[in-house]
Amino acid sequence: MNDRELLIERLNAGRDELLAAVEGLTDEQAAQRPAEGAWSPLECVEHVATVETLFLRRLQTQSVDVPEEMSREREPLLYARIATRDRKINGPEIAQPKGRFATVGEAVDAFQQARAHTLKWLDESPYDLRRRAAEHPALGPGSVYEMVLILAAHPARHAAQIRECRTS
């Protein structure tokens, strides 16, 4: 399996995990917050859809070529770190849930469309993803390969959060 095939596999796995987490939720259940200050499942999906859209735009418009391949050392660590909820990460204000979607179905559709755009971009991207860099708002600079790994793991992180909501 080559690097892009691995990224596609991980992007699909993250998507599937998020979809499984919201499967069967009614709009009423999806809108319920498990605790004061916690996000509802609907807010989690809204956030994931928003981040996917904004982050892909960043990769398309703000990534730059670098002279040498960037290190692969952080890749497995980033993927594992983003996918788990061991550590709270506050996203930028623009990525916070703001009630952009009235139903969980609308939020899921937006995420699915955004993920489809990511997959299409990845498939068509002519770049060597390790010889191109971008800036992550919280993690700083990294290879575009790392950034796609982060996008792949991000839905899994919030799928875990949604599962926590469902059990509380």
DSSP assignments along 75-134, one per residue: HHHHHHHHHS-SS--PPPGGGS-----SSHHHHHHHHHHHHHHHHHHHHH--S-TTSEEE
CB 147 within 8 A of CB 59: yes
CB 132 within 8 A of CB 63: yes
Task: Using a pLDDT cut of 90, give the percent of the chain over it.
Answer: 77
CB 38 within 8 A of CB 165: yes
State yes or no: pLDDT of 3 exceeds 80: yes
pLDDT digits (tens, 9 = 90+) for 97-116: 999 999 999 999 999 999 99
pLDDT at residue number 83:
75
pLDDT digits (tens, 9 = 90+) for 26-66: 999 999 998 888 899 999 999 999 999 999 999 999 999 99
Question: What does the pLDDT average to over 71-78?
Answer: 90
pLDDT at residue number 20:
97
State yes or no: pLDDT of 84 exceeds 80: no
State yes or no: pLDDT of 168 exceeds 70: no
State yes or no: pLDDT of 153 exceeds 80: yes
Alpha-carbon distances, residue 163 vs 19, 21, 60, 138, 157 (angstroms): 11, 6, 32, 25, 10
- Angle 71-73-76 from CA coordinates, rounded to 5°: 130
Question: What does the pLDDT average to over 87-96?
Answer: 81
The alpha-carbon radius of gyration of the chain (Å, integer) is 16
Average pLDDT for the chain: 92
pLDDT at residue number 37:
84
Q: What letter does residue 160 receive in the DSSP assignment?
A: H
- Size of the chain in residues: 168
d(CA 142, CA 71): 9
Domains of the chain: residue spans and CATH: 3-167 (1.20.120.450)
